Structure 1
Amino acid sequence: MAYHSGYGVHGSKHRTRAAPDPPPLFDDTSGGYSSQLGGYPAPGADVAFSVNNLLGDPVANMAMAYGSSIASQGKDIVHKELHRFVSVNKLKYFFAVDTAYVAKKLGLLVFPYTHQNWKMQYSQDVPLPPRKDLNAPDLYIPTMAFITFSPEVLGLCASTALVWVLMEVLALLLGLYLATVRSELSTFHLLAYSGYKYVGMILSVLTGLLFGSDGYYVALAWTSSALMYFIVRSLRTAASGPDSMGGPAPRQRLQLYLTLGAAAFQPLIIYWLTFHLVR
Protein backbone atom coordinates (compact mmCIF):
# COMPACT_ATOMS: atom_id res chain seq x y z
CA MET A 1 0.00 0.00 0.00
CA ALA A 2 1.53 3.33 -0.99
CA TYR A 3 0.94 6.50 1.04
CA HIS A 4 1.22 10.09 -0.04
CA SER A 5 1.74 13.06 2.19
CA GLY A 6 -0.15 16.23 1.40
CA TYR A 7 -2.34 18.96 2.76
CA GLY A 8 -6.08 19.31 2.35
CA VAL A 9 -8.09 22.37 1.57
CA HIS A 10 -7.93 23.57 5.13
CA GLY A 11 -4.24 22.89 5.34
CA SER A 12 -4.56 19.71 7.40
CA LYS A 13 -2.17 16.91 6.60
CA HIS A 14 -3.78 13.53 5.60
CA ARG A 15 -3.00 10.24 3.80
CA THR A 16 -4.50 9.21 0.43
CA ARG A 17 -4.58 5.80 -1.33
CA ALA A 18 -3.15 5.22 -4.81
CA ALA A 19 -5.72 4.76 -7.63
CA PRO A 20 -6.41 1.10 -8.59
CA ASP A 21 -5.09 -0.31 -11.89
CA PRO A 22 -7.49 0.20 -14.86
CA PRO A 23 -9.37 -2.90 -16.05
CA PRO A 24 -7.95 -4.65 -19.15
CA LEU A 25 -9.52 -3.83 -22.47
CA PHE A 26 -9.78 -7.53 -23.45
CA ASP A 27 -10.30 -10.67 -21.44
CA ASP A 28 -7.36 -13.04 -21.16
CA THR A 29 -8.36 -16.14 -23.08
CA SER A 30 -4.91 -17.67 -23.45
CA GLY A 31 -5.55 -20.15 -20.67
CA GLY A 32 -7.49 -22.47 -23.04
CA TYR A 33 -4.49 -22.96 -25.33
CA SER A 34 -1.13 -24.46 -24.86
CA SER A 35 1.70 -22.06 -24.23
CA GLN A 36 2.98 -20.62 -27.51
CA LEU A 37 4.97 -17.62 -28.52
CA GLY A 38 2.76 -14.55 -28.75
CA GLY A 39 -0.23 -16.27 -27.14
CA TYR A 40 -1.36 -18.05 -30.35
CA PRO A 41 -2.97 -21.49 -30.18
CA ALA A 42 -1.02 -24.61 -30.99
CA PRO A 43 -0.80 -25.46 -34.69
CA GLY A 44 -3.59 -27.78 -35.77
CA ALA A 45 -5.71 -27.19 -32.70
CA ASP A 46 -8.56 -25.57 -34.65
CA VAL A 47 -8.30 -28.19 -37.40
CA ALA A 48 -8.44 -31.07 -34.94
CA PHE A 49 -11.38 -29.45 -33.22
CA SER A 50 -13.25 -29.06 -36.53
CA VAL A 51 -12.49 -32.62 -37.62
CA ASN A 52 -13.67 -34.04 -34.30
CA ASN A 53 -16.90 -32.08 -34.56
CA LEU A 54 -17.37 -33.18 -38.18
CA LEU A 55 -16.80 -36.85 -37.39
CA GLY A 56 -19.17 -36.64 -34.51
CA ASP A 57 -21.94 -35.16 -36.67
CA PRO A 58 -24.15 -37.95 -38.12
CA VAL A 59 -25.46 -35.69 -40.89
CA ALA A 60 -21.92 -34.93 -42.01
CA ASN A 61 -21.06 -38.62 -41.91
CA MET A 62 -24.04 -39.44 -44.11
CA ALA A 63 -23.06 -36.70 -46.57
CA MET A 64 -19.49 -37.99 -46.74
CA ALA A 65 -20.68 -41.56 -47.31
CA TYR A 66 -23.11 -40.42 -50.02
CA GLY A 67 -20.38 -38.41 -51.74
CA SER A 68 -18.01 -41.39 -51.67
CA SER A 69 -20.73 -43.60 -53.14
CA ILE A 70 -21.38 -41.12 -55.98
CA ALA A 71 -17.66 -40.87 -56.73
CA SER A 72 -17.32 -44.65 -56.79
CA GLN A 73 -20.29 -45.02 -59.15
CA GLY A 74 -18.87 -42.35 -61.45
CA LYS A 75 -15.52 -44.13 -61.53
CA ASP A 76 -17.22 -47.41 -62.43
CA ILE A 77 -19.22 -45.75 -65.23
CA VAL A 78 -16.11 -44.12 -66.72
CA HIS A 79 -14.18 -47.40 -66.53
CA LYS A 80 -17.06 -49.30 -68.17
CA GLU A 81 -17.38 -46.80 -71.03
CA LEU A 82 -13.61 -46.79 -71.59
CA HIS A 83 -13.57 -50.59 -71.60
CA ARG A 84 -16.41 -50.53 -74.12
CA PHE A 85 -14.39 -48.62 -76.71
CA VAL A 86 -10.82 -49.65 -75.83
CA SER A 87 -10.53 -53.08 -74.24
CA VAL A 88 -7.04 -53.70 -72.91
CA ASN A 89 -7.48 -57.47 -73.08
CA LYS A 90 -8.59 -57.30 -76.71
CA LEU A 91 -5.73 -54.97 -77.53
CA LYS A 92 -3.20 -57.36 -75.98
CA TYR A 93 -4.41 -60.09 -78.34
CA PHE A 94 -3.24 -58.12 -81.39
CA PHE A 95 0.26 -57.70 -79.93
CA ALA A 96 0.72 -61.35 -78.91
CA VAL A 97 3.43 -62.05 -81.49
CA ASP A 98 6.90 -63.58 -81.58
CA THR A 99 9.87 -63.42 -83.93
CA ALA A 100 8.81 -66.45 -85.95
CA TYR A 101 5.34 -65.03 -86.55
CA VAL A 102 6.69 -61.62 -87.62
CA ALA A 103 9.09 -63.21 -90.12
CA LYS A 104 6.39 -65.48 -91.59
CA LYS A 105 3.80 -62.70 -91.73
CA LEU A 106 6.18 -60.36 -93.55
CA GLY A 107 6.84 -63.14 -96.05
CA LEU A 108 3.10 -63.67 -96.46
CA LEU A 109 2.54 -59.96 -97.09
CA VAL A 110 5.23 -59.87 -99.78
CA PHE A 111 4.39 -63.21 -101.42
CA PRO A 112 0.88 -64.41 -100.49
CA TYR A 113 0.12 -66.39 -103.65
CA THR A 114 1.21 -69.83 -102.42
CA HIS A 115 -0.70 -69.63 -99.13
CA GLN A 116 -3.61 -72.08 -99.10
CA ASN A 117 -5.53 -71.97 -95.82
CA TRP A 118 -6.73 -68.47 -94.94
CA LYS A 119 -9.12 -69.38 -92.12
CA MET A 120 -8.39 -68.19 -88.61
CA GLN A 121 -7.86 -70.92 -86.03
CA TYR A 122 -10.02 -71.20 -82.91
CA SER A 123 -9.74 -73.00 -79.61
CA GLN A 124 -13.07 -73.45 -77.80
CA ASP A 125 -14.63 -70.61 -79.81
CA VAL A 126 -11.72 -68.31 -78.89
CA PRO A 127 -9.40 -67.18 -81.70
CA LEU A 128 -5.80 -68.18 -81.29
CA PRO A 129 -3.30 -65.34 -80.82
CA PRO A 130 -1.17 -64.29 -83.79
CA ARG A 131 1.92 -66.14 -82.55
CA LYS A 132 -0.06 -69.39 -82.87
CA ASP A 133 -2.02 -68.55 -86.03
CA LEU A 134 -0.43 -66.96 -89.08
CA ASN A 135 -3.84 -65.86 -90.40
CA ALA A 136 -4.66 -63.87 -87.27
CA PRO A 137 -4.34 -60.11 -87.79
CA ASP A 138 -1.91 -58.22 -85.58
CA LEU A 139 -1.15 -54.61 -84.78
CA TYR A 140 2.54 -55.13 -84.04
CA ILE A 141 3.69 -55.11 -87.68
CA PRO A 142 1.58 -52.06 -88.67
CA THR A 143 2.74 -50.16 -85.59
CA MET A 144 6.42 -50.94 -86.17
CA ALA A 145 6.07 -50.12 -89.86
CA PHE A 146 4.40 -46.81 -89.06
CA ILE A 147 7.16 -45.89 -86.60
CA THR A 148 9.80 -46.82 -89.18
CA PHE A 149 7.95 -44.84 -91.83
CA SER A 150 7.69 -41.69 -89.72
CA PRO A 151 11.06 -40.06 -89.04
CA GLU A 152 11.18 -36.29 -88.86
CA VAL A 153 11.66 -35.92 -92.61
CA LEU A 154 8.54 -38.01 -93.32
CA GLY A 155 6.49 -36.69 -90.42
CA LEU A 156 3.88 -34.95 -92.56
CA CYS A 157 3.53 -37.95 -94.85
CA ALA A 158 3.15 -40.30 -91.89
CA SER A 159 0.49 -38.09 -90.31
CA THR A 160 -1.44 -38.03 -93.56
CA ALA A 161 -1.16 -41.81 -93.84
CA LEU A 162 -2.54 -42.21 -90.32
CA VAL A 163 -5.52 -40.01 -91.14
CA TRP A 164 -6.23 -42.03 -94.28
CA VAL A 165 -6.07 -45.29 -92.34
CA LEU A 166 -8.60 -44.00 -89.82
CA MET A 167 -10.90 -42.84 -92.62
CA GLU A 168 -10.52 -46.20 -94.30
CA VAL A 169 -11.47 -48.05 -91.12
CA LEU A 170 -14.54 -45.86 -90.66
CA ALA A 171 -15.55 -46.48 -94.27
CA LEU A 172 -15.17 -50.24 -93.82
CA LEU A 173 -17.23 -50.17 -90.63
CA LEU A 174 -19.95 -48.26 -92.44
CA GLY A 175 -19.81 -50.66 -95.36
CA LEU A 176 -20.09 -53.69 -93.10
CA TYR A 177 -23.04 -52.09 -91.34
CA LEU A 178 -24.83 -51.30 -94.59
CA ALA A 179 -24.10 -54.78 -95.93
CA THR A 180 -25.43 -56.27 -92.67
CA VAL A 181 -22.38 -58.49 -92.41
CA ARG A 182 -22.32 -60.47 -89.16
CA SER A 183 -18.76 -61.48 -88.47
CA GLU A 184 -16.08 -61.33 -85.81
CA LEU A 185 -14.40 -58.35 -87.48
CA SER A 186 -13.83 -55.57 -84.96
CA THR A 187 -12.30 -52.15 -85.28
CA PHE A 188 -8.92 -53.59 -84.29
CA HIS A 189 -9.16 -56.20 -87.06
CA LEU A 190 -9.87 -53.57 -89.69
CA LEU A 191 -7.12 -51.33 -88.32
CA ALA A 192 -4.66 -54.20 -88.60
CA TYR A 193 -5.62 -55.04 -92.19
CA SER A 194 -5.47 -51.38 -93.18
CA GLY A 195 -2.13 -50.89 -91.45
CA TYR A 196 -0.39 -53.60 -93.45
CA LYS A 197 -0.04 -51.10 -96.29
CA TYR A 198 2.83 -49.49 -94.35
CA VAL A 199 4.98 -52.52 -95.17
CA GLY A 200 4.43 -51.99 -98.90
CA MET A 201 5.09 -48.26 -98.51
CA ILE A 202 8.44 -48.87 -96.80
CA LEU A 203 9.56 -51.44 -99.39
CA SER A 204 8.57 -49.17 -102.27
CA VAL A 205 10.34 -46.11 -100.85
CA LEU A 206 13.51 -48.03 -99.95
CA THR A 207 13.65 -49.61 -103.40
CA GLY A 208 13.13 -46.24 -105.01
CA LEU A 209 15.90 -44.65 -102.94
CA LEU A 210 18.30 -47.44 -103.93
CA PHE A 211 17.39 -47.94 -107.58
CA GLY A 212 15.62 -44.77 -108.59
CA SER A 213 12.15 -44.29 -109.95
CA ASP A 214 12.21 -47.47 -112.05
CA GLY A 215 12.89 -49.59 -108.98
CA TYR A 216 10.19 -47.69 -107.10
CA TYR A 217 7.49 -48.48 -109.67
CA VAL A 218 8.51 -52.14 -109.87
CA ALA A 219 8.36 -52.47 -106.08
CA LEU A 220 5.09 -50.52 -105.99
CA ALA A 221 3.48 -52.83 -108.53
CA TRP A 222 4.63 -55.96 -106.70
CA THR A 223 3.73 -54.87 -103.17
CA SER A 224 0.40 -53.44 -104.29
CA SER A 225 -0.68 -56.61 -106.10
CA ALA A 226 0.45 -58.76 -103.19
CA LEU A 227 -1.38 -56.57 -100.69
CA MET A 228 -4.56 -56.59 -102.77
CA TYR A 229 -4.50 -60.38 -102.97
CA PHE A 230 -3.85 -60.60 -99.22
CA ILE A 231 -6.70 -58.19 -98.36
CA VAL A 232 -9.22 -59.96 -100.62
CA ARG A 233 -8.47 -63.42 -99.26
CA SER A 234 -8.33 -62.29 -95.64
CA LEU A 235 -11.45 -60.12 -95.61
CA ARG A 236 -13.53 -62.59 -97.62
CA THR A 237 -12.64 -65.39 -95.23
CA ALA A 238 -13.15 -63.27 -92.11
CA ALA A 239 -16.40 -61.68 -93.29
CA SER A 240 -17.92 -64.93 -94.57
CA GLY A 241 -19.25 -66.16 -91.26
CA PRO A 242 -21.95 -68.81 -90.76
CA ASP A 243 -24.71 -66.18 -90.93
CA SER A 244 -23.56 -64.84 -94.27
CA MET A 245 -23.18 -68.21 -96.01
CA GLY A 246 -26.12 -68.97 -98.24
CA GLY A 247 -27.55 -65.48 -97.77
CA PRO A 248 -29.36 -63.42 -100.36
CA ALA A 249 -27.50 -62.78 -103.59
CA PRO A 250 -27.61 -58.96 -103.27
CA ARG A 251 -25.97 -59.17 -99.85
CA GLN A 252 -23.22 -61.45 -101.14
CA ARG A 253 -22.56 -59.11 -104.05
CA LEU A 254 -22.39 -56.15 -101.68
CA GLN A 255 -19.88 -58.00 -99.52
CA LEU A 256 -17.82 -58.81 -102.60
CA TYR A 257 -17.87 -55.19 -103.77
CA LEU A 258 -16.86 -54.02 -100.30
CA THR A 259 -13.91 -56.40 -100.21
CA LEU A 260 -12.75 -55.50 -103.73
CA GLY A 261 -13.12 -51.79 -102.98
CA ALA A 262 -11.00 -52.08 -99.84
CA ALA A 263 -8.34 -54.00 -101.77
CA ALA A 264 -8.31 -51.59 -104.73
CA PHE A 265 -7.86 -48.65 -102.40
CA GLN A 266 -4.51 -49.94 -101.09
CA PRO A 267 -2.26 -49.30 -104.15
CA LEU A 268 -3.85 -45.90 -104.72
CA ILE A 269 -3.10 -44.65 -101.23
CA ILE A 270 0.40 -46.20 -101.28
CA TYR A 271 1.23 -44.38 -104.52
CA TRP A 272 -0.33 -41.08 -103.44
CA LEU A 273 1.63 -41.01 -100.17
CA THR A 274 5.01 -42.13 -101.52
CA PHE A 275 5.52 -41.04 -105.15
CA HIS A 276 6.86 -37.60 -104.19
CA LEU A 277 9.48 -39.16 -101.88
CA VAL A 278 11.34 -40.74 -104.79
CA ARG A 279 12.76 -38.41 -107.46
Structure 2
Amino acid sequence: MSSDGPIYRTKNYPHPQQQQSSQFYQPTTPSPQSQASNAHEGDYTVPNPQSHNGFFSPQTAFYGSSNQATSSIEFLSNNPFLNVGFNVVEQGMKDMTDKTINMLPNQMKKSLSSIKYYFAVDQTYVIKKLCLILFPFRPRNWSIGYNADEPVPPRVDTNAPDYYIPLMSAITYVLVAGLVLGIQNRFTPEQLGMHATSVLIWNIIEILILSITFYIFNIQSKLRILDLIAYCGYKYVGMITALSSYLITDSLFIYRLALLYISISLSYFLVKCLRLQILPDIGGSQPYNTNGNTRRIYLLLFVVLLQPLFIWYLTQHLIIP
Protein backbone atom coordinates (compact mmCIF):
# COMPACT_ATOMS: atom_id res chain seq x y z
CA MET A 1 0.00 0.00 0.00
CA SER A 2 1.45 3.31 -1.02
CA SER A 3 0.61 6.93 -0.42
CA ASP A 4 1.75 10.21 -1.79
CA GLY A 5 2.65 11.93 1.50
CA PRO A 6 5.60 11.18 3.86
CA ILE A 7 5.38 8.35 6.23
CA TYR A 8 5.72 9.18 10.03
CA ARG A 9 6.51 6.53 12.56
CA THR A 10 5.15 7.04 16.10
CA LYS A 11 6.87 5.80 19.27
CA ASN A 12 4.95 4.66 22.28
CA TYR A 13 6.14 6.75 25.31
CA PRO A 14 4.91 5.88 28.83
CA HIS A 15 2.35 8.05 30.49
CA PRO A 16 3.79 10.55 33.04
CA GLN A 17 1.85 9.01 35.92
CA GLN A 18 3.09 5.57 34.97
CA GLN A 19 6.70 6.87 34.83
CA GLN A 20 6.41 8.48 38.28
CA SER A 21 4.94 5.38 39.82
CA SER A 22 7.68 3.26 38.31
CA GLN A 23 10.32 5.52 39.91
CA PHE A 24 8.93 5.33 43.47
CA TYR A 25 7.80 1.76 43.64
CA GLN A 26 10.83 -0.34 43.04
CA PRO A 27 10.45 -4.05 42.94
CA THR A 28 13.68 -4.52 44.87
CA THR A 29 13.90 -4.11 48.68
CA PRO A 30 16.76 -1.92 49.96
CA SER A 31 19.12 -3.26 52.62
CA PRO A 32 19.00 -1.96 56.23
CA GLN A 33 22.40 -0.31 55.82
CA SER A 34 21.19 1.69 52.83
CA GLN A 35 18.03 2.71 54.69
CA ALA A 36 20.04 4.00 57.66
CA SER A 37 22.40 5.92 55.40
CA ASN A 38 19.52 7.40 53.37
CA ALA A 39 17.68 8.43 56.55
CA HIS A 40 20.55 10.63 57.71
CA GLU A 41 21.75 11.68 54.27
CA GLY A 42 21.50 15.41 53.75
CA ASP A 43 20.62 16.28 57.39
CA TYR A 44 23.89 16.16 59.34
CA THR A 45 26.92 14.02 59.73
CA VAL A 46 26.79 11.66 62.67
CA PRO A 47 30.05 11.75 64.63
CA ASN A 48 31.88 8.53 65.06
CA PRO A 49 33.78 8.94 68.30
CA GLN A 50 36.65 6.65 68.95
CA SER A 51 35.80 4.42 71.83
CA HIS A 52 38.24 3.32 74.48
CA ASN A 53 38.49 -0.45 74.75
CA GLY A 54 35.34 -0.84 72.71
CA PHE A 55 33.15 1.39 74.93
CA PHE A 56 31.85 4.88 74.35
CA SER A 57 32.01 7.30 77.27
CA PRO A 58 30.81 10.89 77.62
CA GLN A 59 34.36 11.95 78.33
CA THR A 60 35.44 10.97 74.81
CA ALA A 61 32.64 13.05 73.29
CA PHE A 62 32.96 16.26 75.29
CA TYR A 63 36.64 16.35 76.27
CA GLY A 64 39.77 16.18 74.31
CA SER A 65 42.24 13.40 74.31
CA SER A 66 44.73 12.75 77.07
CA ASN A 67 47.53 14.08 74.89
CA GLN A 68 45.87 17.48 74.73
CA ALA A 69 45.41 17.56 78.52
CA THR A 70 49.03 16.58 79.04
CA SER A 71 50.21 19.27 76.68
CA SER A 72 48.08 21.86 78.50
CA ILE A 73 49.55 20.86 81.85
CA GLU A 74 53.07 21.01 80.46
CA PHE A 75 52.35 24.44 79.03
CA LEU A 76 51.13 25.74 82.40
CA SER A 77 54.04 24.23 84.29
CA ASN A 78 56.62 25.57 81.86
CA ASN A 79 55.10 29.03 81.65
CA PRO A 80 57.62 31.42 83.30
CA PHE A 81 55.00 34.09 84.01
CA LEU A 82 52.85 31.70 86.00
CA ASN A 83 55.84 30.41 87.93
CA VAL A 84 56.87 33.94 88.85
CA GLY A 85 53.30 34.71 89.96
CA PHE A 86 53.11 31.60 92.13
CA ASN A 87 56.43 32.45 93.74
CA VAL A 88 55.32 36.00 94.48
CA VAL A 89 52.05 34.79 96.05
CA GLU A 90 53.83 32.15 98.12
CA GLN A 91 56.41 34.65 99.39
CA GLY A 92 53.67 37.17 100.17
CA MET A 93 51.69 34.65 102.18
CA LYS A 94 54.81 33.63 104.09
CA ASP A 95 55.69 37.25 104.90
CA MET A 96 52.11 37.96 106.00
CA THR A 97 52.11 34.91 108.28
CA ASP A 98 55.45 35.90 109.83
CA LYS A 99 54.25 39.46 110.43
CA THR A 100 51.01 38.22 111.99
CA ILE A 101 52.90 35.92 114.36
CA ASN A 102 55.33 38.70 115.29
CA MET A 103 52.42 41.03 116.11
CA LEU A 104 51.03 38.57 118.67
CA PRO A 105 52.00 38.92 122.34
CA ASN A 106 54.88 36.81 123.56
CA GLN A 107 52.64 34.74 125.84
CA MET A 108 50.30 33.93 122.96
CA LYS A 109 53.19 32.99 120.68
CA LYS A 110 54.50 30.70 123.38
CA SER A 111 51.06 29.11 123.74
CA LEU A 112 50.75 28.53 119.99
CA SER A 113 54.16 26.91 119.81
CA SER A 114 53.41 24.72 122.83
CA ILE A 115 50.29 23.24 121.19
CA LYS A 116 52.57 20.86 119.26
CA TYR A 117 53.46 19.28 122.61
CA TYR A 118 49.88 18.07 123.12
CA PHE A 119 49.78 16.24 119.76
CA ALA A 120 53.05 14.34 120.29
CA VAL A 121 51.32 10.96 120.72
CA ASP A 122 51.61 7.48 119.28
CA GLN A 123 49.39 4.43 119.09
CA THR A 124 50.73 2.91 122.31
CA TYR A 125 50.00 6.09 124.25
CA VAL A 126 46.43 6.31 122.92
CA ILE A 127 45.61 2.72 123.92
CA LYS A 128 47.13 3.10 127.37
CA LYS A 129 45.42 6.44 127.99
CA LEU A 130 41.99 5.13 126.97
CA CYS A 131 42.41 2.18 129.32
CA LEU A 132 43.52 4.57 132.05
CA ILE A 133 40.44 6.76 131.61
CA LEU A 134 38.01 3.84 131.62
CA PHE A 135 39.76 1.76 134.31
CA PRO A 136 41.72 4.14 136.57
CA PHE A 137 41.33 2.24 139.85
CA ARG A 138 44.60 0.33 139.67
CA PRO A 139 47.24 1.84 142.02
CA ARG A 140 49.99 3.61 140.10
CA ASN A 141 52.14 6.72 140.01
CA TRP A 142 50.13 9.69 138.75
CA SER A 143 52.88 12.33 138.64
CA ILE A 144 53.99 13.88 135.35
CA GLY A 145 57.59 13.41 134.29
CA TYR A 146 59.83 16.42 133.61
CA ASN A 147 62.96 16.84 131.57
CA ALA A 148 65.00 20.01 132.24
CA ASP A 149 62.04 21.75 133.90
CA GLU A 150 59.82 20.93 130.92
CA PRO A 151 57.16 18.19 130.89
CA VAL A 152 57.99 15.23 128.70
CA PRO A 153 55.81 14.60 125.60
CA PRO A 154 52.66 12.49 126.00
CA ARG A 155 54.13 9.59 124.02
CA VAL A 156 56.79 9.26 126.72
CA ASP A 157 54.55 9.70 129.79
CA THR A 158 51.00 8.32 129.92
CA ASN A 159 50.05 10.79 132.68
CA ALA A 160 50.70 13.80 130.44
CA PRO A 161 47.61 15.51 128.95
CA ASP A 162 47.06 15.51 125.20
CA TYR A 163 44.72 16.95 122.59
CA TYR A 164 44.51 13.97 120.25
CA ILE A 165 42.10 11.90 122.34
CA PRO A 166 39.76 14.85 123.15
CA LEU A 167 39.63 15.92 119.50
CA MET A 168 39.02 12.45 118.08
CA SER A 169 36.52 11.55 120.80
CA ALA A 170 34.56 14.78 120.20
CA ILE A 171 34.27 13.98 116.47
CA THR A 172 33.30 10.40 117.27
CA TYR A 173 30.65 11.62 119.69
CA VAL A 174 29.01 13.67 116.93
CA LEU A 175 28.91 10.62 114.65
CA VAL A 176 27.57 8.31 117.37
CA ALA A 177 24.89 10.87 118.23
CA GLY A 178 23.82 10.90 114.57
CA LEU A 179 23.70 7.10 114.60
CA VAL A 180 21.49 7.08 117.71
CA LEU A 181 19.11 9.57 116.12
CA GLY A 182 19.07 7.55 112.91
CA ILE A 183 18.03 4.37 114.71
CA GLN A 184 15.21 6.32 116.34
CA ASN A 185 14.14 7.81 112.95
CA ARG A 186 14.90 11.32 114.21
CA PHE A 187 18.01 12.01 112.14
CA THR A 188 18.36 14.96 109.78
CA PRO A 189 21.58 16.17 108.13
CA GLU A 190 21.39 19.36 110.16
CA GLN A 191 21.75 17.34 113.37
CA LEU A 192 25.45 16.73 112.76
CA GLY A 193 26.17 20.43 112.43
CA MET A 194 24.07 21.24 115.48
CA HIS A 195 25.89 18.69 117.64
CA ALA A 196 29.32 19.81 116.41
CA THR A 197 28.42 23.41 117.20
CA SER A 198 27.12 22.46 120.64
CA VAL A 199 30.37 20.63 121.40
CA LEU A 200 32.40 23.75 120.57
CA ILE A 201 30.11 26.15 122.43
CA TRP A 202 29.89 24.05 125.60
CA ASN A 203 33.65 23.59 125.65
CA ILE A 204 34.13 27.35 125.51
CA ILE A 205 31.53 27.89 128.23
CA GLU A 206 33.13 25.25 130.45
CA ILE A 207 36.63 26.68 130.12
CA LEU A 208 35.34 30.20 130.78
CA ILE A 209 33.54 29.04 133.93
CA LEU A 210 36.64 27.29 135.24
CA SER A 211 38.93 30.19 134.35
CA ILE A 212 36.65 32.66 136.16
CA THR A 213 36.51 30.29 139.14
CA PHE A 214 40.29 30.11 139.29
CA TYR A 215 40.46 33.90 139.16
CA ILE A 216 37.83 34.39 141.88
CA PHE A 217 39.49 31.90 144.24
CA ASN A 218 42.85 33.55 143.50
CA ILE A 219 44.67 30.22 143.33
CA GLN A 220 48.10 29.86 141.82
CA SER A 221 48.77 26.32 140.64
CA LYS A 222 50.79 24.31 138.15
CA LEU A 223 47.69 23.71 136.07
CA ARG A 224 47.69 25.73 132.85
CA ILE A 225 44.71 26.64 130.72
CA LEU A 226 45.95 24.37 127.93
CA ASP A 227 46.16 21.47 130.38
CA LEU A 228 42.65 22.24 131.63
CA ILE A 229 41.28 22.09 128.07
CA ALA A 230 42.81 18.64 127.62
CA TYR A 231 41.45 17.28 130.91
CA CYS A 232 37.96 18.62 130.18
CA GLY A 233 38.03 16.94 126.76
CA TYR A 234 38.37 13.44 128.20
CA LYS A 235 34.68 13.38 129.10
CA TYR A 236 33.79 12.60 125.46
CA VAL A 237 35.30 9.15 125.92
CA GLY A 238 32.71 8.50 128.64
CA MET A 239 29.92 9.95 126.52
CA ILE A 240 30.79 7.61 123.64
CA THR A 241 30.83 4.66 126.05
CA ALA A 242 27.40 5.51 127.47
CA LEU A 243 25.81 6.01 124.04
CA SER A 244 27.42 2.84 122.68
CA SER A 245 26.00 0.80 125.56
CA TYR A 246 22.54 2.13 124.70
CA LEU A 247 23.03 1.33 121.00
CA ILE A 248 24.10 -2.24 121.69
CA THR A 249 21.50 -3.14 124.31
CA ASP A 250 18.67 -0.67 123.55
CA SER A 251 18.11 -0.55 127.31
CA LEU A 252 17.66 2.59 129.36
CA PHE A 253 18.82 0.75 132.47
CA ILE A 254 22.13 -0.24 130.84
CA TYR A 255 22.63 3.36 129.70
CA ARG A 256 22.13 4.69 133.22
CA LEU A 257 24.40 2.02 134.66
CA ALA A 258 27.12 2.87 132.13
CA LEU A 259 26.63 6.57 132.85
CA LEU A 260 27.09 5.95 136.57
CA TYR A 261 30.25 3.92 136.07
CA ILE A 262 31.72 6.45 133.63
CA SER A 263 31.01 9.32 136.03
CA ILE A 264 32.79 7.51 138.87
CA SER A 265 35.79 6.43 136.79
CA LEU A 266 36.27 9.84 135.17
CA SER A 267 35.96 11.63 138.53
CA TYR A 268 38.53 9.29 140.07
CA PHE A 269 40.85 9.81 137.09
CA LEU A 270 40.61 13.60 137.31
CA VAL A 271 41.13 13.64 141.07
CA LYS A 272 44.30 11.62 140.72
CA CYS A 273 45.60 13.77 137.85
CA LEU A 274 44.64 17.23 139.12
CA ARG A 275 45.32 16.96 142.83
CA LEU A 276 49.08 17.08 142.24
CA GLN A 277 48.68 20.28 140.21
CA ILE A 278 45.97 22.11 142.18
CA LEU A 279 46.66 21.14 145.78
CA PRO A 280 49.72 22.73 147.46
CA ASP A 281 52.98 20.87 147.73
CA ILE A 282 53.37 20.08 151.41
CA GLY A 283 56.96 19.06 150.79
CA GLY A 284 58.05 22.68 150.88
CA SER A 285 57.97 24.10 147.33
CA GLN A 286 54.70 25.98 148.13
CA PRO A 287 53.70 27.50 151.49
CA TYR A 288 50.94 25.63 153.29
CA ASN A 289 47.84 27.65 154.21
CA THR A 290 44.69 26.19 155.76
CA ASN A 291 42.29 28.60 154.04
CA GLY A 292 44.08 28.33 150.71
CA ASN A 293 44.12 24.55 150.97
CA THR A 294 40.36 24.50 151.57
CA ARG A 295 39.74 26.66 148.52
CA ARG A 296 41.91 24.38 146.43
CA ILE A 297 39.96 21.32 147.56
CA TYR A 298 36.66 23.04 146.70
CA LEU A 299 38.04 24.02 143.32
CA LEU A 300 39.22 20.49 142.64
CA LEU A 301 35.81 19.07 143.56
CA PHE A 302 34.10 21.66 141.36
CA VAL A 303 36.22 20.70 138.32
CA VAL A 304 35.69 16.99 138.96
CA LEU A 305 31.93 17.12 139.54
CA LEU A 306 31.35 19.37 136.55
CA GLN A 307 32.38 16.63 134.09
CA PRO A 308 29.64 14.06 134.95
CA LEU A 309 27.09 16.87 134.76
CA PHE A 310 28.14 17.68 131.19
CA ILE A 311 28.16 13.97 130.28
CA TRP A 312 24.57 13.57 131.45
CA TYR A 313 23.37 16.82 129.86
CA LEU A 314 24.92 16.14 126.43
CA THR A 315 23.63 12.56 126.18
CA GLN A 316 20.23 12.44 127.90
CA HIS A 317 18.41 14.28 125.09
CA LEU A 318 19.49 11.52 122.66
CA ILE A 319 17.84 8.77 124.70
CA ILE A 320 14.11 8.15 124.40
CA PRO A 321 12.77 6.73 127.71
1:183 equivalenced with 2:225 (yes/no): no
SS at match of 2:306: helix
Q: 1:129 Cα shift?
A: 0.6
SS at match of 1:150: helix
Aligned partners of 1:142 and 1:198 also within 8 Å: yes
- Give structure 1 stretches of 5+ with no counterpart: 1-71
TM-score, scaled relative to structure 2: 0.59
1:138 equivalenced with 2:162 (yes/no): yes
Aligned-partner Cα distance in 2 for 1:169–1:278: 27
Aligned-partner Cα distance in 2 for 1:261–1:213: 28
- Give structure 2 stretches of 5+ with no counterpart: 1-94, 176-188
SS at match of 1:164: helix
1:79 equivalenced with 2:102 (yes/no): yes
Return closer, same or farther for 1:247/1:175 CA change in 2, 3 Å cut-off: farther
- Aligned pairs for 1:98-137 (under 5 A) are 98-137=122-161
Q: Deviations over 1:19-43 (max 9, x none)?
A: xxxxxxxxxxxxxxxxxxxxxxxxx
SS at match of 2:317: helix
Displacement over 3 Å in runs of 4+: 72-78, 151-155, 240-246
* Residues paired across the two proteins, number: 208
Aligned residue in 2 for 1:276: 317
Aligned-partner Cα distance in 2 for 1:255–1:171: 16
Q: Deviations over 1:83-115 (max 9, x none)?
A: 633633200000000111100000010011114
Q: 1:265 Cα shift?
A: 1.1
Return closer, same or farther for 1:183/1:214 CA change in 2, 3 Å cut-off: same
Aligned partners of 2:280 and 2:293 also within 8 Å: no
Return closer, same or farther for 1:241/1:252 CA change in 2, 3 Å cut-off: closer
Q: Which residue among 243, 252, 266 is the counterpart of 1:227?
A: 266
Q: 1:76 Cα shift?
A: 4.5
Q: 1:180 Cα shift?
A: 3.0
SS at match of 2:104: helix
TM-score, scaled relative to structure 1: 0.68
Percent identity (aligned): 38
Return closer, same or farther for 1:74/1:265 CA change in 2, 3 Å cut-off: closer
1:195 equivalenced with 2:239 (yes/no): no
Aligned-partner Cα distance in 2 for 1:209–1:155: 21
1:249 equivalenced with 2:290 (yes/no): yes
Q: CA RMSD in A?
A: 2.4
SS at match of 2:197: helix
Return closer, same or farther for 1:98/1:75 CA change in 2, 3 Å cut-off: closer
Aligned-partner Cα distance in 2 for 1:232–1:267: 13
Q: Deviations over 1:165-214 (max 9, x none)?
A: 22221222222223333233222111101100110011101111111212
